[in-house]
């Protein structure tokens, strides 16, 4: 640890003697990719306004950069930090295996770097969010396997070291480990061009069944997360049980739905997707049943609000007429921002804040919090407006005009603001890892003390 950390800070900090906690390391890698992907997003927004600049990029034109942007947001920012959660859940953040956390994160980041170069070099499977192909595809799967191996060894080591946990907890961890083992192979397999999910014949997009399936997978993750992060409050067993019961019921419903190419116009499709609305009250109640670190308050609220927005707008956008209007438009780009920049980002930061505890100041500064959310909301409003216009006139965003250009210029501004907020987090995360927190934090801690 650096000598610049005051005794008060040192006492409050969770950073280990080896220079950084598992969460701080995972946060740094995730934030690095967030900043990188956001910078690429800004580049894309610039290119849509000034397509002549593509000339400067040689063969690395717009389409190749979109792959880099989308995949690094998904496999970088929204995935790497979850390794911090897994390190905590499987006890890999302490003991002799803790020193392998950082190498595992390096391997993951190296795989992302190789992936970015491979997309820029024109290697892709042609599948959105599954563009892995060739060497990069194998390397990414290998990076996930290495993470899994560390978690498995940590579990075994903790068991041998006599770590205290109930039989149910051990069983859950083993079951989770088996599920995690499937992930690298599933991603490798899913990136194959020969596999494609069911298609909604009226839109060319996913069916209601597919969307329900993926949403329930997210719900399952949301229900599991508190179990690995904190402890349940007393007298909250009913709410927790209800959460799992509703998930089971919805999974049963999903299981009986058609897996074929079915239209969103079938009432059973949009009504079954509407069953997700049950999670509007249920998820906040479920999360209220757990004891969270006080520092999580801001981001937990944000996550739950974004969740509500995602469920409601997701369902509305799937309804007949609405989906027909917005399909292939910027309106759905706006919705993907509700999902990724709004909900998922808030969830990731909330988890990191819980893991970081007193070191969570890096995410709790008011300026970056409001900058991020304000610019994300602005982006969503702008894209929804563009999508609304585009629904009536598909050429609206293809042919530059004053209205389209104004919306896209404002979109660029909001993108720059998002980049600024993410950069703020990355700078603070770097300071945290170096043991150089800002002076104001010491003052704040003294006041609290």
The verdict on 440 binding other proteins (CB under 8 A) reads: no
CB of 204 to other proteins, least distance (A): 3
Task: For other proteins, give the closer residue by CB, 196 or 234.
Answer: 196
Cα 203 from chain centre? 26
Decide if 70 contacts 118 (C-beta within 8 A): no
The verdict on 321 binding other proteins (CB under 8 A) reads: no
Part of the chain binding other proteins (CB under 8 A), chosen from 64-72, 74-82, 89-97, 347-355: 64-72
Please report where in the chains the tokens 């892995």 appear, as a residue: 132
Decide if 118 contacts 135 (C-beta within 8 A): yes
Interacting residue with other proteins among 43, 97, 139, 155 (CB under 8 A):
139
CB of 356 to other proteins, least distance (A): 21
Interacting residue with other proteins among 3, 56, 439, 447 (CB under 8 A):
56
Task: For other proteins, give the closer residue by CB, 229 or 273.
Answer: 273
**Site map (CB under 8 A) of other proteins, residues 255-294, x = contact:** ------x---------------------------------
Decide if 133 contacts 122 (C-beta within 8 A): no
Q: What are phi and psi of 290, to 5 degrees?
A: -120, 155
Interacting residue with other proteins among 185, 328, 370, 440 (CB under 8 A):
328
Interacting residue with other proteins among 6, 61, 230, 275 (CB under 8 A):
61
Q: Which residues contact 327 (CB under 8 A, 6 or more apart)?
A: 203, 204, 205
Closest-CA residue to 329 (of 201, 203, 200): 203
The verdict on 395 binding other proteins (CB under 8 A) reads: yes
Q: Alpha-carbon distance 111 to 133, whole Å?
A: 12
Interacting residue with other proteins among 106, 157, 305, 388 (CB under 8 A):
106
Interacting residue with other proteins among 202, 218, 220, 233 (CB under 8 A):
202
Q: Which residues contact 5 (CB under 8 A, 6 or more apart)?
A: 13, 435, 436, 437
Q: Which residues contact 143 (CB under 8 A, 6 or more apart)?
A: 104, 107, 108, 110, 111
Q: Which residues contact 7 (CB under 8 A, 6 or more apart)?
A: none
Task: For other proteins, give the closer residue by CB, 329 or 346.
Answer: 329
What's the token pair of residue 288? 């209220």
Interacting residue with other proteins among 16, 42, 46, 102 (CB under 8 A):
102
CB of 223 to other proteins, least distance (A): 29
Interacting residue with other proteins among 110, 182, 217, 280 (CB under 8 A):
110
Part of the chain binding other proteins (CB under 8 A), chosen from 171-179, 212-220, 288-296, 398-406: 398-406
Task: For other proteins, give the closer residue by CB, 310 or 445.
Answer: 310
CB of 14 to other proteins, least distance (A): 21
Interacting residue with other proteins among 128, 175, 182, 255 (CB under 8 A):
128
Residues belonging to the chain? 449
- DSSP-assigned states of every residue in 134-162: HHHHHHHHHHHHHHHHHHHHHHHHHHHTT
284-289: list long-range contacts, CB under 8 Å, 24+ apart.
285/239, 285/242, 285/243, 286/222, 286/223, 286/226, 286/239, 286/240, 286/242, 286/243, 287/226, 288/236, 288/239, 289/226, 289/232, 289/233, 289/236, 289/239, 289/240
CB of 64 to other proteins, least distance (A): 5
Task: For other proteins, give the closer residue by CB, 403 or 446.
Answer: 403
Q: What are phi and psi of 232, to 5 degrees?
A: -80, 145
Interacting residue with other proteins among 394, 406, 436, 440 (CB under 8 A):
394
Which residue ranges make up the site for other proteins (CB under 8 A)? 47-48, 51, 54-59, 61-67, 99-100, 102-104, 106-107, 110, 114, 119, 122-128, 133-135, 137-139, 142-143, 146, 192-196, 199, 201-205, 261, 324, 327-330, 332-333, 393-395, 397-400
């Amino acid at each position: 640890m650096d000598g610049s950390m005051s005794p008060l800070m040192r006492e409050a900090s969770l950073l280990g003697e080896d220079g950084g906690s598992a969460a701080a390391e995972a946060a740094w890698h995730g934030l690095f990719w967030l900043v990188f992907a956001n910078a690429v997003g800004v580049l894309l927004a610039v290119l849509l306004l000034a397509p002549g600049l593509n000339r400067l990029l040689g063969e690395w034109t717009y389409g190749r950069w979109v792959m880099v942007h989308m995949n690094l947001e998904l496999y970088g920012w929204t995935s790497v930090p979850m390794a911090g959660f897994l390190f905590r859940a499987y006890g890999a953040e302490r003991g002799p295996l803790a020193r392998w956390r950082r190498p595992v994160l390096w391997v993951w980041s190296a795989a992302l770097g190789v992936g970015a170069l491979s997309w820029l070099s024109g290697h892709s499977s042609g599948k959105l969010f599954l563009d892995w192909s060739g060497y990069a595809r194998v390397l990414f799967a290998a990076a996930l396997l290495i993470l899994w191996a560390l978690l498995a060894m940590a579990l075994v080591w903790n068991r041998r070291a006599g770590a205290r946990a109930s039989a149910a907890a051990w069983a859950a961890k083993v079951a989770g480990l088996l599920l995690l083992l499937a992930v690298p192979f599933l991603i490798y397999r899913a990136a194959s061009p020969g596999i494609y999910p069911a298609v909604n014949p009226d839109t060319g997009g996913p069916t209601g069944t597919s969307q329900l399936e993926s949403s329930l997978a997210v719900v399952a993750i949301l229900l599991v997360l508190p179990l690995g992060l904190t402890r349940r409050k007393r007298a909250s067993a009913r709410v927790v049980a209800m959460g799992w019961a509703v998930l089971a019921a919805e999974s049963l419903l999903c299981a009986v739905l058609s897996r074929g190419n079915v239209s969103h116009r079938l009432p059973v499709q949009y009504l079954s997707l509407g069953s997700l609305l049950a999670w509007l009250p249920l998820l906040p109640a479920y999360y209220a049943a757990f004891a969270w670190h006080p520092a999580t308050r801001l981001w937990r609220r944000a996550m739950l609000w974004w969740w509500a927005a995602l469920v409601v707008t997701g369902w509305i956008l799937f309804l007949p007429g609405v989906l027909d209007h917005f399909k292939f438009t910027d309106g759905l780009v706006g919705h993907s921002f509700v999902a990724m920049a709004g909900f998922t980002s808030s969830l990731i930061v909330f988890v990191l804040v819980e893991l970081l505890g007193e070191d969570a100041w890096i995410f709790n500064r008011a300026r970056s919090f409001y900058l991020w959310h304000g610019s994300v909301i602005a982006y969503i409003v702008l894209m929804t407006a563009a999508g609304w216009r585009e629904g009536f006139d598909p050429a609206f965003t293809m042919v530059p005009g004053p209205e389209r250009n104004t919306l896209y210029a404002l979109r660029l501004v909001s993108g720059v603001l998002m980049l600024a907020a993410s950069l703020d987090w990355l700078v603070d995360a770097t300071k945290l890892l170096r043991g150089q927190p800002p002076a104001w934090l010491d003052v704040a801690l003294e006041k609290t003390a």
